[in-house]
Structure formats: C-alpha cells, structure tokens
Amino acid sequence: MKTYGVALVLGLALAGGNYAVLGQRPEVAGCAPCLALLLAGPLVLALAVAAVAGTGASASGTASAVAVPSTKPAEPAENAALRLLATLQEEGRLVDFFSEDIAPYTDEQIGAATRGIHASCRKALEGAVAIEPIMPGDEGATVTVPAGFDPAAIRLVGNVSGTPPFTGVLRHAGWRVKSVNLPPRTGQDPKVVAPAEVEIG
C-alpha cells in the first residue's frame, strides 16, 4: 500500500504540473484528448508502475520467506570405505591380520588364526553389504554369456573371438552389491579405523 501511495502522490504532482502548463497554452487546453492524456496519463502510469513494483516486492518477500532447507555437506567418498574397513577391523581385526608379519608362523598356526578372522569378517561384511553372484552356477560349470552382456560385469578370458552368445567355463561367479548398510560413526574422525587402547593400572 505504501508503494501505491507514493506513486499516487507523484502522479498527482505530475498531473498538477501539466495542468499549470495547460493554463499558459490555451490552444492545448481546448483539445479534450490532450487534456485526458496530460492529466490522467500520469496517474495511470504511476499506478501501473506501483502495481508492477508491488508484485515484484511481494514475490521477493515470498521467496525470502520460504525456508530454504539446509543442505548437509556431502560425505567424502573415501569415508564409506573407511567405515567398512573400521567395521572389519572391529569385528575381525582384519587390519591387524594384514599388518602382521606372518612369515615366522607355521601353516597350522596361520590356519587356526585365520578361521576366527574369517568368521568374524564374514559376519561383519554380511551385516554391512548385501552381495549376490553376478552369474549363477558353480565354478567349473559350463555357462552361456548372452548377447548384449555388460563387459564391466562379465570379463571374458581365454580365446575370445566372434560375437556373443559365448559358451565357456565359469571361473568366478563375480559379485554385485545389492545394498549397503554401513553403520554411522558420528562424532568420530573417519580416518581413525581403530582407536588405540591403553590399559591403565
């Protein structure tokens, strides 16, 4: 409303100025269309400008009033891998196993230790990542690779020639991730895979 008031005052002022000029120009004062244009024109123009300005201000106010949802910064891609590594370390001490020099141990000692690590890491992996074979069947079975296969999912090895479908021996079924359910680690440095433990006393 304030915008309309200001525009109306300016329009009246301009119309008044035109009227004063008309008093000194009798040839224009006798022209009805000229009077309408010079007196009513400023008012109509002022109100039109006020309407446009008011619409813009209203739209701007509405836009600023709309709450913009705060976007949480995206987590670095490496953090997911670190969370998985931390899970495997926490459950099966996988990092400890790979970091240790196993050369001095006998095969029997390594085998006994590996059994426990295998079971714990398998449990952790199954809880964090659901995976499925890319190609069904047992290793060593004869399989057919259809036309239009995805070369990123199925790798052909050996004597490959011609066009698909191909028939061959399944050397590895491959793995595809169905879903990922990594536990959150809020409030912790993602690069800390496993905290140091110090026993006191």
Element holding 129 (H helix, E strand): strand 129-133
Query: What are the pLDDT digits (tens) for 99-146?
Result: 999 999 999 999 988 999 999 999 999 999 999 999 988 999 999 999
Is the pTM for the entire model greater than 0.85? no
> How crowded is residue 185: how many other Cβ atoms within 10 Å of its Cβ?
14
SS3 168: strand
pLDDT value of residue 121: 93
Spell out the alpha helix ranges (H) of the chain: 2-23, 26-29, 32-35, 41-65, 77-92, 94-99, 107-128
CA distance 83 to 164: 40
Q: What value does the mean pLDDT of the chain take?
A: 77
**CA–CA–CA angle 21, 26, 31 (5° rounding):** 95
Q: Would you list the domain boundaries of the chain?
A: 2-60, 77-157+170-180
